[in-house]
Amino acid sequence: MIAASRIAGLVITVAVLAAFGWIGRYAEAAAPEAPALGRAATLAASCGGCHARDGGAIVGLDTRDAGHIQTSLMAYKADAQGTSVMHRIARGYSEADIRMIAAYLAARDGR
């Protein structure tokens, strides 16, 4: 019984780390030869969980250009009083990460 709860806890921890992109960051740091596009894709992967192209519960990003995405993420990051999921996620990214994510998402959708 104890082993099952430890495994469940580990699974939850890994899921949270993956959702916030921390596992991807560690993997990229461990593989410095990885191309920048791979890093951008890894960082942006968590965005699709809420901002799906198929019209999920939250507005999709497929109509947003890189400037809009970058400005929005920077505003979330800078808002020290914000407590939403987006505030917490944005605070985990560096400014370079945010530029990379915005450029990747816009290029992926042809903007």
Q: CATH number of the domain that 53 lies in? A: 1.10.760.10
What's residue 52's pLDDT?
A: 76
Strand (E) positions, 1-111?
none
- Count of structural domains, the chain: 1
Structural domain for 42, as ranges: 2-108
Per-residue pLDDT tens digits for 64-110: 899 999 999 999 999 999 999 999 999 999 999 999 999 999 887 66
The CA–CA distances, whole Å, from 9 to 2, 29, 106 equal: 11, 25, 36
Helix axes 66-78, 95-108, angle to 10 degrees: 150
Predicted pLDDT at 98: 96
